[in-house]
Amino acid sequence: MTSSDVPMKKLRMGMIGGGPGAFIGAVHRTAACLDGEIELVCGAFSSNPEKSHEMGKQLGLPPDRVYGSYKEMIDQEQKTKGN
């Protein structure tokens, strides 16, 4: 078996910023997904929790993986143990 025979796991990505009205957020998300090896799994897209959740909904993320602050995202995601 060679290393090319081993299936690669996608890198799971959390995003801070890039919410509604932020041009560069969409650019970063697009670039991250170009090779198909990165999956956006969570985010704190705005310091305004309503805007952050709005963006998470637009991106199809589960509501419990969208946060109102980066601190909340880091605290909660550390508890998921890679899920």
pLDDT at 56: 97
Q: What is the pLDDT of residue 71?
A: 96
- Within a domain: residue 1? no
pLDDT at site 21:
87
Q: Show the tokens assigned to 62.
A: 């589960």
What whole-number distance in Å separates Cα of residue 76 and Cα of residue 68? 12
- 11-16 and 38-44: which strand pairing? parallel
Residue 73 sits in which domain range? Answer: 11-79
* Nearest residue to 39 (alpha-carbon basis) of 6, 7, 14: 14
Q: What is the mean pLDDT of residues 49-70?
A: 96
Work out the pLDDT band at 67, boundaries 50, 70, 90. Answer: very high
| Structure confidence at residue 9 (pLDDT) | 86
CB 65 within 8 A of CB 42: yes
CATH of the domain at 16: 3.40.50.720
- Looking at the structure of the chain, the number of domains it has is 1
Q: What is the pLDDT of residues 2-49, one digit of tens each?
A: 556 667 788 999 999 999 888 899 999 999 989 889 999 999 999 999
